[in-house]
Amino acid sequence: MCRLLAYLGLPVSLEQLLYKPEHSLIVQSYQPREMISGVVNADGFGMGWYHLQKDTAPFTYKNTLPIWNDINLPHISRYVESKCVLAYVRSATPGQAVDFANCQPFDDQNLLFIHNGRIENFRQTLYKEIRHILDHNFYQKINGSSDSEHIFSLLLSQDYNKLQPLEYALRSTLLTLLEMAKCYQVEVSANTIISDGKRLIASRFASNTPAPSLYWLKDDPTFPKSVIIASEPLFFGNWTACPENSIITVGENCDIQVQQL
């Protein structure tokens, strides 16, 4: 399992998000409180953010080192500011390589994507099934071997647009995974966060077992006019647990909507 973090709101430095909170993502990398499998998140990390002023593709920074061992990150985090940030620390599923191709966030055009969870026995079960239903363009987008990137490509392959937006694509993706999991009698868990730089769309989902933890916090005095979504609360505050098997949408005005699957 991994630990996720997403922010949408007023401009904030990466340092304030990653280092300042008492139970920050850095702390969660070596001392998580609510992981249901694994002990530490030492198999790499990554973050993505959007430019404050220009409407450009997002930027990413990744490493296969444990986040606490990256000597460049403290300096970068003091420099970078953004209104929208996604970040994660990784606990690799056994059998999945620890390399840059498997580092999140994954990106495509203006989208960023992070995932916490797993597909049970992925290589022996849904790996081939997911690839089989992808057309050539989306198949070619897969660079690594992780279940996370395959879930992202499956999401990209959904026919979403202004009338059927990202929430639709995510819902369709999760339901497709659920049907595949039933066929192969395996478990799937998919806490995901997607962003286009203006909104956050997240899921807390599992097929059979309890879903991994996920919370949201809105308009905390430390982060006013903002929403944070995180695997674990970063500090004491009015955190709300996301309902299991739900999709959470954070709009441009930081309004929150929750839809059950």
What residues act catalytically? 2
Residues 6 or more apart whose Cβ sits within 8 Å of residue 135: 157
Q: Are strands 111-119 and 188-195 parallel, antiparallel or unpaired?
A: antiparallel
CA–CA distance, 177 with 175 (Å, rounded to integer): 5
What is the number of other CB atoms lying within 10 angstroms of the CB of residue 201?
27
Strands of 223-230's sheet in order across: 59-63, 45-49, 81-89, 3-13, 223-230, 215-220, 240-241
Q: How far is CA 154 from CA 60, 192, 240, 246, in A?
A: 21, 13, 29, 18
Residues 6 or more apart whose Cβ sits within 8 Å of residue 255: none
Bridge partners (DSSP) listed for residue 12? 82
Look-up: residue for tokens 């905390």?
220
